[in-house]
Structure 1
Amino acid sequence: MQNPIYIPIVNSQDEIIGHGEKLEVHKLGQLHRAFSILVFNKKRELLIHQRALHKYHSGGLWTNTCCGHPNEGEEMQAAVIRRLIEEMGFGCELNYSFKFHYKADFENGLTENEIDHVYVGEFEGDFKVNPDEVADYKWVDMETVLHDVTISPEKYTVWFKEILKREEVENLV
Structure 2
Amino acid sequence: MEEFVVLVNPKDEVLGLMEKQQAHVNGLLHRAFSVFLFNDQGEMLLQKRAEQKYHSPGQWTNAVCSHPRDGESYYNGAIRRLKEELGIDAKIEEKFNFIYKADVGGGLWEHELDYVFTGVYNEEFQINVEEVESVRYISMQDLDQELADHPERFTQWFKIILEAYKHHF
Name the counterpart of 1:60. Answer: 58
**3-state secondary structure, aligned to 2:105:** coil
For the aligned residue pairs, the C-alpha RMSD in angstroms reads: 1.4
Name the counterpart of 1:14. Answer: 12
Name the counterpart of 1:137. Answer: 135
Q: TM-score when scaled to structure 1?
A: 0.92
1:26 corresponds to which of 24, 46, 70: 24
Structure 1 pair 31/170, CA: closer, same or farther in 2 (3 Å)? Answer: closer
Instruction: Point out where structure 1 has 5 or more consecutive residues left out of the alignment.
Output: none
The answer to whether the Cα contact below 8 Å between 1:34 and 1:117 also exists between their aligned partners in 2 is yes
Name the counterpart of 1:156. Answer: 154
The answer to whether the Cα contact below 8 Å between 1:37 and 1:64 also exists between their aligned partners in 2 is yes
The answer to whether the Cα contact below 8 Å between 2:104 and 2:155 also exists between their aligned partners in 1 is no
For residues 139 and 165 of structure 2, what CA distance do their matches in structure 1 show? 17
2:83 corresponds to which of 82, 85, 88: 85
The answer to whether the Cα contact below 8 Å between 2:5 and 2:31 also exists between their aligned partners in 1 is yes
Instruction: Point out where structure 2 has 5 or more consecutive residues left out of the alignment.
Output: none
Name the counterpart of 1:147. Answer: 145
For residues 167 and 155 of structure 2, what CA distance do their matches in structure 1 show? 16
How many pairs were matched up?
A: 169
Name the counterpart of 2:125. Answer: 127
The answer to whether the Cα contact below 8 Å between 2:38 and 2:45 also exists between their aligned partners in 1 is yes
| Paired residue type of 2:85 | E
The answer to whether the Cα contact below 8 Å between 1:146 and 1:164 also exists between their aligned partners in 2 is no
**3-state secondary structure, aligned to 1:166:** helix
2:70 corresponds to which of 69, 72, 75: 72
Name the counterpart of 1:100. Answer: 98
Q: TM-score when scaled to structure 2?
A: 0.94
Q: CA deviation at 1:77?
A: 1.3
For residues 40 and 169 of structure 1, what CA distance do their matches in structure 2 show? 17
> Percent identity among equivalent residues?
40
Q: CA deviation at 1:167?
A: 5.4
Q: CA deviation at 1:124?
A: 1.4
| Paired residue type of 1:44 | G
